[in-house]
């Protein structure tokens, strides 16, 4: 059985939600990570497996990167997994590799933009599929205008460079 | 009109070619204050503008920065920066959750933060404001945020009246961000993380920094729409009116 609780941290822009289960903890991170974000309350989770879900992170500034890097480096290898990383988190992982600490990155959202109506949508991709050589589609169908010309926003190889 | 030091130009000429952002950053950290990447090479009009401007000893105005519809907002405190950036996105009619919204939001946050916390010094030459403080700028320290949009992309600028930036500041910043490994990529001192310019350079299509010692820095950026985006086409230019660039 799982239990969920939401805890507001030290500022109005960020909160997290922990779901505990028999195998570890799932942490849903919500909002903005910046110099005011305090992760110290999450450090107690480092002794058991933890999954960080980044889907609801809306922004990270450079001091936020440092705050996160200093936090995640405390987690031992094998104990930490990142899932549902949006493009802004993938960007941090590519620019500042220590953002990943010793985490296994399980899944990321790949961004697509429609050439016809400029609608944007993200497609969830398993990093293991990319590593296995499963091709990431360069185009998908736009869910707004049904055009087949929704292209990946960026270069696949560069986007997945964190997964080397 | 700002004049440029010809010897400094000769010592660090512009580099024109086809580069990745990383290759361009390494050129900048090795001393090139003007780097233009495009398939056109020397036929690129922006590169040519830079080369002729350097030869003529003046700071050029690029086509991407010229827009008569540019709006400006003054920022007076650190507390209002997120609200002001949201206002800019709203005026530009961009959703913050969009790819462009993320680029503009992040870049303005980094540039404004740099200006508020690092541009101003006290009488002893130390930074006047600290990152963990809520800063109320003096009237003469207000920061001007400019923005405009056309069919090809978005223009933003941030102007402060602080101590100015030197090219060696930029070089050492790029050196750390692009050449360091692991935790040494990030400033660990109790100030900024030193990643702001790196982030902006990675996100923007064109970056132009014009800095005047003791009178401030103007950072101008242009972001191509995704339909107009070409990863090979970008530029970085650092100009200073100082004779000792």
Q: Give B127-158 pLDDT, tens digit per residue.
A: 899 887 889 999 999 999 999 999 899 999 99
Q: Based on the domain organization, do A137 and A99 belong to the same domain? A: no
Which of B105, B106, B193 minimises the CB distance to A63? B193
Which of A13, A62, A153 minimises the CB distance to B226? A153
Ordered alpha helix ranges (H), B40-98: 45-56, 81-91
Q: Based on the domain organization, do A155 and A83 belong to the same domain? A: no
Q: Taking 90 as the threshold, does the pLDDT of residue B214 lie above it?
A: no
Burial (CB count within 10 angstroms: exposed 0-12, middle 13-18, buried 19+), residue A146:
exposed
Is there a contact between A91 and B195 if contact means CB atoms under 8 Å apart?
A: no
In contact, B32 and B13? CB cutoff 8 Å: yes
pLDDT for residue B180: 87
pLDDT for residue B97: 86
Query: What is the domain extent for residue A143?
Result: 112-122+132-164
pLDDT for residue A149: 82
User: Structural domains in chain B?
Assistant: 6-124+131-240 (3.30.565.10)
pLDDT for residue B8: 54
Å between B65 CA and nearest CA of chain A: 24
Nearest to A67 by CA among A45, A91, A92: A92
pLDDT for residue B6: 57
What CA–CA distance (Å, rounded) separates B148 from B92?
7
Q: Taking 80 as the threshold, does the pLDDT of residue B10 lie above it?
A: no
Asked if the structure places residue A61 within a domain, the reply is yes
Is A153 an 8 Å CB contact of chain B? yes
Is B195 an 8 Å CB contact of chain A? yes
- Backbone Cα Rg of chain B: 17
Q: Taking 70 as the threshold, does the pLDDT of residue A154 lie above it?
A: yes
Q: Taking 60 as the threshold, does the pLDDT of residue B1 lie above it?
A: no
Q: Based on the domain organization, do A48 and A9 belong to the same domain? A: yes
What average pLDDT does range B195-219 have in this prediction? 94
Q: Based on the domain organization, do A150 and A101 belong to the same domain? A: no
Q: Write out the two tokens for B130.
A: 């600290």
Q: Give B162-197 pLDDT, tens digit per residue.
A: 999 999 999 999 999 999 888 889 887 767 888 999
Is A116 an 8 Å CB contact of chain B? no
Q: Taking 60 as the threshold, does the pLDDT of residue A162 lie above it?
A: yes
Å between A146 CA and nearest CA of chain B: 18
Is B187 an 8 Å CB contact of chain A? yes
Is the pTM higher than 0.80?
yes
What CA–CA distance (Å, rounded) separates A101 from A160?
17
Is there a contact between B186 and A98 if contact means CB atoms under 8 Å apart?
A: yes
Q: Based on the domain organization, do A22 and A64 belong to the same domain? A: yes
Q: Based on the domain organization, do A38 and A96 belong to the same domain? A: yes
Residues 55-114 of A with CB under 8 A from B: 58-63, 65-66, 69, 73, 87-88, 91, 95-98, 111, 113
What CA–CA distance (Å, rounded) separates B196 from A61?
8
What CA–CA distance (Å, rounded) separates A130 from A106?
11
Asked if the structure places residue A49 within a domain, the reply is yes
Q: Based on the domain organization, do A87 and A150 belong to the same domain? A: no
In contact, A156 and A136? CB cutoff 8 Å: yes
Is there a contact between B186 and A66 if contact means CB atoms under 8 Å apart?
A: yes
- Concatenated DSSP letters of B2-45: -B--HHHHHHS--EEE---HHHHHHHHHTT-SEEEE-TTGGG-H
Q: Which residues of B23-44 are buried (b: 16+ CB within 10 A; e: fewer)?
A: ebbbbbbeebbbbbbbebeeeb
Å between A98 CA and nearest CA of chain B: 5
Q: Based on the domain organization, do A80 and A118 belong to the same domain? A: no
Q: A-chain residues within 8 Å CB-CB of B188?
A: 66
What CA–CA distance (Å, rounded) separates B204 from B234?
8
Q: Give A73-129 pLDDT, tens digit per residue.
A: 999 998 999 999 999 999 999 999 999 999 999 999 999 999 888 899 999 999 999
List the single residue in B with minimal CA-CA distance to A57. B97
What CA–CA distance (Å, rounded) separates B209 from B236?
8
Q: B-chain residues within 8 Å CB-CB of A58?
A: 96-97
Is A118 an 8 Å CB contact of chain B? yes
- The kind and range of the H/E element at B106 are helix B99-118
Q: Is the dihedral of CA A73, A78, A82, A87 positive or negative?
A: positive
Q: Based on the domain organization, do A94 and A117 belong to the same domain? A: no
- pLDDT category at B24 given cuts 50, 70, 90 is very high
Long-range contacts: A158-161, Cβ < 8 Å, 24+? Answer: A158/A94, A158/B231, A159/A90, A159/A94, A159/A110, A160/A108, A160/A127, A160/A130, A160/A136, A161/A94
Q: A-chain residues within 8 Å CB-CB of B199?
A: 62, 95
In contact, A82 and A99? CB cutoff 8 Å: no
pLDDT for residue B2: 57
- Total domains, chain A: 2
Q: Give B40-54 pLDDT, tens digit per residue.
A: 988 999 999 999 998
Q: Based on the domain organization, do A90 and A156 belong to the same domain? A: no
Is A163 an 8 Å CB contact of chain B? no
Is there a contact between A118 and B227 if contact means CB atoms under 8 Å apart?
A: yes
Asked if the structure places residue A127 within a domain, the reply is no
Q: Which residue would you say has higher pLDDT here, B26 or B68?
A: B26
Nearest to B162 by CA among B110, B106, B207, B122: B122
pLDDT for residue B245: 41
CATH of the domain at A89: 3.30.750.24
Q: Based on the domain organization, do A88 and A154 belong to the same domain? A: no
Is A10 an 8 Å CB contact of chain B? no
pLDDT for residue A84: 97
Q: Give B63-96 pLDDT, tens digit per residue.
A: 999 777 889 999 999 999 999 999 999 999 999 8
Which of A13, A35, A158 minimises the CB distance to B131? A35
In total, chain B counts a number of residues equal to 245
Q: A-chain residues within 8 Å CB-CB of B113?
A: 61-63
Q: Based on the domain organization, do A101 and A73 belong to the same domain? A: yes
Asked if the structure places residue A62 within a domain, the reply is yes
pLDDT for residue A20: 85
């Amino acid at each position: 059985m799982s239990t969920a609780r939401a805890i507001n941290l030290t500022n109005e822009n960020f909160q997290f939600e922990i779901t505990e289960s028999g195998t570890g903890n799932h942490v849903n991170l919500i909002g903005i990570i910046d110099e005011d974000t305090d992760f110290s309350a999450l450090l107690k989770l480092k002794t058991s497996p933890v999954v960080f879900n980044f889907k609801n992170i809306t922004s990270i500034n450079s001091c936020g990167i440092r705050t996160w890097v200093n936090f995640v480096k405390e987690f031992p290898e094998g104990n930490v997994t990142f899932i549902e990383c949006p493009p802004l988190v993938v960007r941090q992982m590519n620019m500042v590799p220590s953002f990943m600490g010793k985490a296994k990155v399980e899944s990321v959202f790949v961004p697509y933009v429609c050439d016809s109506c400029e609608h944007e949508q993200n497609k969830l991709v398993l990093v293991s599929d990319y590593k296995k050589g499963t091709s990431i589609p360069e185009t998908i169908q736009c869910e707004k205008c049904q055009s087949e010309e929704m292209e990946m926003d960026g270069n696949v190889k560069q986007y997945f460079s964190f997964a080397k | 009109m700002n004049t440029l030091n010809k010897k400094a130009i000769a010592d660090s000429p512009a580099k024109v070619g086809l580069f990745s952002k990383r290759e361009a950053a390494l050129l900048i950290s090795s001393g090139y204050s003007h780097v233009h990447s495009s398939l056109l090479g020397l036929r690129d009009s922006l590169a040519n503008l830079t080369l002729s401007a350097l030869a003529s000893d003046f700071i050029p105005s690029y086509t991407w920065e010229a827009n008569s519809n540019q709006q400006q907002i003054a920022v007076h405190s650190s507390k209002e920066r997120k609200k002001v950036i949201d206002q800019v996105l709203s005026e530009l009619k961009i959703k913050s959750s969009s790819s462009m919204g993320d680029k503009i939001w992040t870049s303005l946050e980094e540039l404004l933060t740099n200006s508020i916390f690092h541009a101003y010094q006290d009488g002893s030459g130390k930074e006047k404001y600290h990152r963990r403080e809520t800063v109320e700028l003096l009237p003469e320290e207000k920061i001007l945020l400019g923005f405009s949009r056309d069919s090809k992309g978005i223009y933003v600028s941030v102007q402060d009246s602080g101590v100015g930036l030197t090219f060696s500041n930029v070089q050492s910043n790029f050196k750390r961000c692009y050449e360091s490994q692991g935790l040494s990529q990030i400033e660990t001192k109790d100030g900024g993380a030193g990643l702001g310019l790196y982030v902006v350079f990675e996100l923007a299509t064109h970056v132009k920094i014009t800095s005047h010692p003791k009178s401030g820095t103007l950072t101008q950026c242009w972001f191509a729409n995704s339909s107009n985006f070409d990863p090979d086409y970008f530029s970085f230019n650092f100009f200073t009116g100082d004779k000792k660039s």
